[in-house]
Amino acid sequence: MGLREGINMQRWKVYAIAIAIGMMSSAVSAQTVVATWNVAWLMAKPTYETWTSTCKRFGWPSDVSKISDASLRDKAREELKGLPYCNVHNGMMFPPDSCLIEDASKIEGWPDAPRYGPNHPCRVSLDLSGGWSQYDIKLQHLRKMAAELAKGKINVLVLQEVFDEDAVRQILPPNWEVSSTKGLTGSPEIPQQLAVAYPKDNPARVRNVHAYGELSSVGPGRHPVRPGLDFTADVAGKPVRFLGVHLKAGCRSADITNPLKRDYHSAEDFERQQAECNAMLAQVPVLERWVDERAAAKEEFVVLGDFNRNLQGEDSKTARSDNTDPKTPLKCSFNARDGKTECSSPVERLMPEISDGDPAGASFIRSIFTTKQGTELKMVRGQYPENSRGACVLKSSGRYKREDGKKIVEAVASLAHDGIDHILVSAALAQRLKKTSFVMSRYNYRRIGENTPMVVTPQDAVPSDHCPHFVALDQ
């Protein structure tokens, strides 16, 4: 090799080293922007066609157990197994007491029928069972939102209520990847799976994706609920364990072990809430075990998703109604005779139970929406103020009479949930992040060319009943 060639070779080595250092620096400094998004019974066309044809064949049953013919009931249960419930995407007001109408039982069986006509007074949006072109209206809204998320540099997106990876791919930008719990060891055959999506050139390097199946097993004889989605991604250049969750619905703010009967609950509603809180109770020690294992291993971690639980105010309150220390391990078992989960202590609140600091590091910083003054934005009756940065605003175009405590009021229906989507950052990870990493943001649904939140008409589809929530984890 000549002198000139040797000098050129040295230059190329210097350039290569400089480029490598630059890439390493970029990877370390790049933000990991993490989002959670419930996309409401998302499915791809083959699943949709199987769902509609199977439900139609059995008369669109809301409850298979109520089919009188035993042989037909068993056949329906087998063929509908693993498919979305036949009454989803019907476009009707939910819950039913959000639309009170005179002589309700005479109007197409409201609220017990699975499907209703296009002019029903409690209709808020299009019935998406009528053909793929109708369901695709929902997908168009979701695609627009997914493009906004990509534009906003979100690079770790945890989704709930997806059927499989094909369902997610149809709404993602073309340069994104996805992994779901569908078919993974420990994940049950249910229509609501979890997924993680991310751009192919993602510095967060999502990897080691597997199901945390213990969350789906809440006692013998129960229907399995959603598993957890466990994966690793980099935050500020270091590996962090993530757990995506979609906990049992129906126990949003009640005491978990002993929900209190309210005057406006019917006996049936109260019985349902007790059952749903009991299912969430079974998930509490399972979730805490994952947290404790990460802390014991000195790992940094994040738990995020649809908790179906309002955690605001829980941080500073007692975990258990008997005032026992939440550091004492909670021991639970399923009482087959009573069909209930029974635990060694009555759990009132989720957050202080799973964030008890034992072992060291088993505690969280909860990401919050803030006011302009930097304090936590407070919810009122389970909702953020409409014009605040925390509100997921998605309205119906109509006005409906609904029950509010003991009063009947007329209001525009809110089609979205507030206060149950959370991102919890472990104390160890929080120590090396900026304080802005714990400030929650969200995207509202908007139509192309419009700046105001979307108003849904009976001829349109609801994209989802959740808005995407995100934080920028930055060092």
3-state secondary structure of 59: coil
Determine contact, residues 178/169, Cβ cutoff 8 Å.
yes
Domain residue ranges of the chain, discontinuous segments joined by +: 31-252+369-473
Q: What is the pLDDT of residues 107-160, one digit of tens each?
A: 898 888 999 999 999 999 999 999 999 999 999 999 999 999 999 999 999 999
Bridge partner residues of 404 (DSSP): 407
Bridge partner residues of 468 (DSSP): none
d(CA 41, CA 84): 7
Which residues, at least 6 apart from 461, have a Cβ–Cβ distance to it below 8 Å? 91, 125, 126, 128, 134, 135, 137, 138, 141
3-state secondary structure of 442: strand
Q: What is the pLDDT of residues 443-463, one digit of tens each?
A: 999 998 888 999 999 999 999
| Rg (alpha carbons) of the chain, rounded to whole number | 24
Residue 430 in this model has a pLDDT that exceeds 80: yes
Instruction: Count other Cβ atoms within 10 Å, centred on residue 458.
Output: 16
What pLDDT score does 222 carry? Answer: 62
Q: What is the DSSP string of 102-161?
A: TTGGGTTTTTTSS---TT-TTB-S--TTS-HHHHHHHHHHHHHHHHHHHHTT--EEEEEE
What pLDDT score does 336 carry? Answer: 76
pLDDT > 70: what percent of the chain? Answer: 91
Instruction: Count other Cβ atoms within 10 Å, centred on residue 167.
Output: 27
What pLDDT score does 263 carry? Answer: 56
Which residues, at least 6 apart from 67, have a Cβ–Cβ distance to it below 8 Å? 58, 61, 73, 76
Which residues, at least 6 apart from 23, have a Cβ–Cβ distance to it below 8 Å? none
Residue 402 in this model has a pLDDT that exceeds 90: no
d(CA 144, CA 171): 8
Mean of pLDDT over the chain? 90
What pLDDT score does 417 carry? Answer: 95
Instruction: Count other Cβ atoms within 10 Å, centred on residue 399.
Output: 10
Residue 86 in this model has a pLDDT that exceeds 60: yes
Residue among 228, 341, 199 nearest 290 (CA): 228
d(CA 285, CA 330): 6
Residue 94 corresponds to which tokens in the numbers above? 């939910």
User: In what helix (H) or strand (E) does residue 15 lie, and over which residues does it extend?
Assistant: helix 3-29
CA distances (Å), 207 to each of 34, 147, 180, 408, in order?
15, 23, 12, 51
